[in-house]
Amino acid sequence: MSEKVVIVTGGAAGIGRATARRFAAAGARVAVWDVQGGEGDIQTVDVTNAAAVEEAVAAVVARWGRIDVLVNNAGILRDHQLIKWKDDRKLAEMTEKDFDAVVAVNQKGVFLCTRAVVPAMIAGGGGAILNASSVVGLYGNFGQTNYAATKAAVVNMTKTWARELGRYNIRVNAVAPGFIATEMVTAMPEKVLQGMVAHTPLGRMGKPEDIAEAYFWLASDAASFITGTVLSVDGGLVVGT
């Protein structure tokens, strides 16, 4: 991975930060994109804005001459039941605003970043695109209509792009994390955290570094014949439920 040029979206915290660190530790040149600040060299990029994404890609190519790996990690949550019903009346619902916000980042953002990066990868002779899905995208989850829909979409975009881009030596794969102990997750109530662990056969939540290692391996030459796959990194969560 030495000297390879890597873009990590949503890289200011959590899984994204661990992923950026993993590639940097191996000698890669890492461009971290995020809408918020953080440690290190971070470009402020809104992945839902096509012009901003194209400009950021151009900046990476101008700086380092190529792009070898894209990790589409940026994502948000806006959880709510489709309809919350009690005593014969509707109490609440998932809003259109929250649905659209999650689709914009988790699905459209992956599309925009990948579309912008592919020409540079083709010019450079190939590359690896890694997309953040989720076990929720494979099996659904209570209160996550919007999130689950986007993560399922990512799986199918991954498989489609693997078919389209293989001829250019571009591999496209996805990772489907289970419960991962990011800052956002560990801020949840202790009872919720215990429930997550109870449903994971390995008896713990994953660490951001567990997902970073999966991304790193899929981007490496060790995975050179792997494309169009979804790697679940979930401690056996699906089996456990």
Catalytic residues: 147
3-state SS, one letter per residue, for the chain = CCCCEEEEECCCCHHHHHHHHHHHHCCCEEEEEECCCCCCCEEECCCCCHHHHHHHHHHHHHHHCCCCEEEECCCCCCCECCEEEECCEEEEECCHHHHHHHHHHHHHHHHHHHHHHHHHHHHHCCEEEEEECCHHHHHCCCCEHHHHHHHHHHHHHHHHHHHHHHHHCEEEEEEEECCECCHHHHCCCHHHHHHHHHCCCCCCCECHHHHHHHHHHHHCHHHCCCCCCEEEECCCHHHHC
